[in-house]
Amino acid sequence: MPVAAAEVLVEVDGKIGIVTLNRPQALNALSISVMDAVVEALGGFDRDPSIHAMVLAGLPRAFAAGADIGEMKNITGGAAAEKQLARHLSNWDKIGLLKKPVIAAVSGFALGGGCELAMACDMIIASETAVFGQPEVLIGVIPGAGGTQRLTKAVGKQLSMEMSLTGRKLSAREAFSFGLVNKVVPVESFLSEAKKLAHTIAAQPPLAVQAAKASVREAVDSKLSEGLSFERQSFFRLFDTQDQKEGMKAFSEKRKPVWTGK
Ligand code: HXC
Residue type, 227: G
Task: Out of 23, 38, 69, give the residue to mutate to test ligand 1, the one with the largest number of ligand atoms within 8 Å of its CB.
Answer: 69
| CB distance 35 to ligand 1 below 6 Å | no
- Per-residue b or e along 133-143, where b marks 16 or more CB atoms closer than 10 Å to that residue's CB: bbbbbbbbbbb
Whole-angstrom distance, CA of residue 42 vs CA of residue 9 = 11
The region of weakest confidence among 12-16, 45-49, 206-210, 244-248 is 206-210
* pLDDT bucket at 5, cuts 50 / 70 / 90: low
For residues 23 and 66, the answer to whether their CB atoms sit within 8 Å is no
Q: Which among 12, 89, 97, 101 has a CA at the least distance from the CA of 53?
A: 101
Longest dimension (CA), the chain: 56
Q: DSSP assignment, residue 4?
A: P
- pLDDT, residue 144, reads 96
Ligand 1 in contact with 96 (CB < 6 A)? no
Q: What is the DSSP letter of 27?
A: T
Is pLDDT above 90 for 230? no
Q: Establish whether residue 82 lines the binding site of ligand 1, counting it when its CB lies within 6 angstroms of any ligand atom.
A: no
Domains of the chain: 5-188+202-208 (3.90.226.10)
Give the nearest ligand 1 atom to 135 CA: 40
pLDDT at residue 218 greater than cutoff 90: no
| pLDDT the model gives residue 227 | 83
Q: What is the pLDDT of residues 163-196, one digit of tens each?
A: 999 999 999 999 999 999 999 999 999 999 999 9
Question: Separation of 24 CA from ligand 1 center, angstroms?
Answer: 11
Compute, in angstroms, the gap from residue 66 CA to the centroid of ligand 1: 7
Q: Residue 44, Cβ neighbours under 10 Å: how many? A: 13
Residue 40 burial (CB < 10 Å; 0-12/13-18/19+)?
middle
The answer, yes or no, to whether residue 1 has pLDDT greater than 70, is no
Q: Kindly name the residue from 17, 66, 113, 146 that is annotated as catalytic.
A: 113
- Which contiguous run of DSSP H or E holds residue 157? helix 157-166
113 is known as an active-site residue: yes
What sign for the dihedral angle of Cα 191, 41, 236, 219?
negative
Pairing of strands 8-13, 16-21: antiparallel
Among residues 65, 108, 110, 136, which one is catalytic? Answer: 136
Establish whether residue 32 lines the binding site of ligand 1, counting it when its CB lies within 6 angstroms of any ligand atom.
no
Distance in Å, CA 204 to ligand 1 centroid: 39
Determine which residue's CA is closest to atom 38 belonging to ligand 1. Answer: 65
Q: Which of 22, 27, 246 to mutate to test the pocket of ligand 1 (most atoms within 8 A of CB)?
A: 27
Over residues 106-163, the pLDDT tens digits come to: 999 999 999 999 999 999 999 999 999 999 999 999 999 999 999 999 999 999 999 9
DSSP string, 182-240: SEEE-GGGHHHHHHHHHHHHHTS-HHHHHHHHHHHHHHHHTTHHHHHHHHHHHHHHGGG
Q: State yes or no: is 108 an active-site residue.
A: no
Q: Write the pLDDT tens digit of every residue in 50-99.
A: 999 999 999 999 999 999 999 999 999 999 999 999 999 999 999 999 99
Q: CA-CA distance, 64 to 236, in Å (whole number)?
A: 22
Give the model confidence (pLDDT) of 13-63 as tens digits.
999 999 999 999 999 999 999 999 999 999 999 999 999 999 999 999 999
Q: What is the Cα–Cα distance from 194 to 175, expressed in whole angstroms?
A: 17
56 lines ligand 1 (CB under 6 A): no
Ligand 1 lined by 7 (C-beta under 6 Å): no
Which of 116, 130, 140, 147 does the annotation list as catalytic?
116
